[in-house]
Amino acid sequence: MFELVFTRRFSMAHRLLAGESERCALPHGHNEYIRVHLRATNPTALDGRTNMVMPFQRAKGIWHGFIDNHVDHALQLSEDDPLRAWFARHEPQRAQRILVTPGDPTTELLACLLMAKLNAFLAADNGTLTCASIEIEETPTNTVRYSGDPLAVLPQPRPAPHCWWRRADTTISDT
């Protein structure tokens, strides 16, 4: 079976408050690589003319725009992080650049959220492709890879039907 594989780089900052790593409790950043593996939802033989599952530009266009214009240089914070209220009060124009997560914005969680978002984009584009797996390289020595249904492993009581990661729009929060 063919897979279309795309890689994109983005910079981000986050902080983790619930875990055991005091180093990660202060805002800090990473330069990350995200790699997605797309598969046809209904695989068929090549047609003898175009011989493509889908043109690369169509398959990656919306996704790359989303990563470049909304995820790159976003601050990732838990929905319960007090920094969100500070930004809303003191710098509301910058609050729009906060990617809000249900719980700490770990690489594992981000992989599932972004996979769900990509699947929403793909479903809105006739559902020809689906994301089979996603990898996020947080550092040169740490990578998270997820394959499966991201909605099945996201924290409960989420995902609610209208969370940002289930919509085929460019939002990164529900605020």
Task: Return the amino acid letter for 153.
Answer: V
Find the mean pLDDT for residues 36-41.
96
Tell me which residue of 14, 40, 5, 3 sits closest to 113, measured CA to CA.
14
Computed over every residue of the chain, the mean pLDDT equals 94
- Say whether pLDDT at 159 is over 70: no
Percent of the chain with pLDDT over 90: 87
- Give the confidence band of 1 by pLDDT, cuts at 50, 70, 90: confident
Per residue in 127-154, pLDDT (tens digit) is: 999 999 999 999 999 999 999 999 999 9
Beta-bridge mates of residue 74? 12
Sheet order of strands, 28-40 included: 98-101, 74-78, 4-14, 28-40, 129-139, 142-147
d(CA 135, CA 146): 6
Domains and their CATH numbers in the chain: 3-166 (3.30.479.10)
d(CA 109, CA 139): 16
Per residue in 72-129, pLDDT (tens digit) is: 999 999 999 999 999 999 999 999 999 999 999 999 999 999 999 999 999 999 999 9
